[in-house]
Amino acid sequence: MVSTFLSRIIGLVRTKYIVWLFGSGVSADAFNAAFVLPDMISYFLVGGAASITFVTILTRYRETGREVEGERSLSVILTTMYLVLGSAIVLAEIFAPWYVRWWFNGFDPHKAALCTLLTRILLPAQLCFFAGGVFGAVLLVRKQFSVQAVAPLIYGLGTIVGGLLLVKRIGVSSLAIGTVGGAACGPLLLNWFFARRAGAHYRFLLDWRDEGLREWVRLSLPLMAGVSLVTADNWIIAHFASKIGGAVSLMSYAKQFFTAPMAMLAQAAGAASLPFFASLWSQDRRYEFAVNVADSVSRVASLGLLAASIMVALGRPAIDLVFTGGHFSTAEANVCALYFAVFSLSLFLWSAQAIYSRAFYAAGNTFVPMVAGTIVTAVSLPIYNALFHWQGAVGLAIASDIGIAMQTLSIAVLLHHRRMVSLASLDFTEMGRCLLAALLAGAAVALLVWGLGALLHHLPGSGLPRQTRWADLEIVLVGSALWLAAAKWTLEKTGSSLPRVAMRRLGLG
């Protein structure tokens, strides 16, 4: 989790660099929108979860002593899907202009043309992500998680390096070229190198009768056939936001700022838990499986509630501190902070669904979550549409929270109904304590931010027209200290074991 969080810091540096260069103007909107088609192709052709399905398959091979067969299947699947995915990318390169005009129908001709160019540059990166996911699965099965945290760091640096070297010559296209280079060096080459060191060897091999290929297709087809709101959320937001100038970028920046803590809780915990869940299920240890899933959900949801409170309370000064500057104004930072605060309310839901969904994947069942996710996405579409026309871009953020709530609840109920993980086994008492601590600590910090903001903005006789970066830093530091003290006091008074466990894990108690 710590490694993933640090890699997300580099991601924020990457976002800051983009914000500084292009703000929320035409180039920024086109660049952020250009990622949607490559993401769609990856999702619908490889299930958007290459590592998830591979972890389940390779874990079974490893547990039954058939690692040689597993390595052969890896080569067959990677070769087959490279041919399929490569063909799809060629077609996408051809039809990109028609797609951009259809999906981003709010873009003017100039912005649409630029988005088409950037989309075409970014498309080949999906080959790197798919292969990297396959090799990364080899490492996850061996309980080696550090490479999965470092790879995004290199990926983020690629965008920055591309900009530093080429932005004066080719503008925003330099960021797209750097992004593809980062995908090749990080997710692909890094995972390949360490997977090879771990004993995995890839060779070009086609065999339509391979058992592993058929199993991968069986697990992945439901993920390809359906769509989960976890992924589609960004696509839907970008579609509606294209009708408002700058909204695609501002919503994207808010989401990226949100993904730093979300990745630490949801993605890191989910990736780390999947091999353990898969191992327990393959050994037919159903009770231990259920208990571990419920405990994991309770922990990440509790931490998500706590983290959301400080994110909402300190979101505005934090975003102003990190993003404001260059072509990004304080007014834009304030709008971005509003979107971020709304997104943050659902952090505990994103965290819980990441664990719940992997419980199904570990059990080798991708069909049920696919059906549930597709239904939730279909039901959510009119909600996005209605809230967008009622509240604009803010309505999209609210709709996102509603959608992920439906997604999480549906997966939890399905696990309970199938007697895989009981809802009654969740630690509602601990989550209640964390909710109370979050409300009290968040309210205390919100009052502090309001008071300090008013004081630093309008000191009598100072003539200060607005906040400075130092003032933002002071508010963030003081607010964080107050939040930590208030949350710790509330948790201890309500009998929570979380502070004691955290201190022990950190070696301080």
Q: Among candidates 349, 174, 390, which has minimal Cα distance to 265?
A: 349
Phi-psi region of 47 (alpha: psi -120 to 50; beta: other; left: phi over 0): left
Residue 405's H or E segment, with its range, is: helix 393-417
How far is C-alpha 347 from the chain's CA centre? 11
Residue 247 or residue 456, greater confidence: 247
Positive or negative, the CA dihedral 256, 262, 263, 267 is negative
d(CA 43, CA 174): 25
Q: What is the pLDDT of residues 96-143, one digit of tens each?
A: 999 999 999 999 999 999 999 999 999 999 888 888 877 777 776 666
Binned at pLDDT 50, 70 and 90, residue 371 comes out as confident
Binned at pLDDT 50, 70 and 90, residue 258 comes out as confident
pTM here is: 0.82
Whether the predicted pLDDT of 4 surpasses 80: no
Binned at pLDDT 50, 70 and 90, residue 54 comes out as low
d(CA 369, CA 355): 12
Lowest mean pLDDT among 171-175, 206-210, 270-274, 390-394: 270-274
How far is C-alpha 100 from the chain's CA centre? 24
What local confidence, expressed as pLDDT, does residue 415 receive?
92
Q: Residue length, the chain? A: 509
How far is C-alpha 207 from the chain's CA centre? 34
d(CA 346, CA 398): 9
Q: Read off the tokens for 471.
A: 């003032």
Q: What is the pLDDT of residues 427-452, one digit of tens each?
A: 999 999 999 999 999 999 998 888 77
d(CA 215, CA 131): 18
CB 16 within 8 A of CB 322: yes
What local confidence, expressed as pLDDT, does residue 111 receive?
95
- Nearby residues of 62 by Cβ (< 8 Å), 6 or more positions away: 70, 141
Q: Among candidates 149, 157, 191, which has minimal Cα distance to 2?
A: 149
What residues are paired with 328 via a beta bridge?
325
Q: What is the mean pLDDT of the chain?
A: 83
* Amino acid (one-letter) located at 504: R
What percentage of the chain carries pLDDT values higher than 90?
40
Binned at pLDDT 50, 70 and 90, residue 266 comes out as low
Q: Among candidates 49, 181, 31, 183, which has minimal Cα distance to 120?
A: 31
Lowest mean pLDDT among 269-278, 287-296, 476-485: 269-278
Q: Please state the rounded mean pLDDT for residues 70-91.
A: 82
What local confidence, expressed as pLDDT, does residue 133 receive?
76
| Residue 52, CB-side half-sphere exposure with 13 Å CA sphere | 24
What residues are paired with 173 via a beta bridge?
none
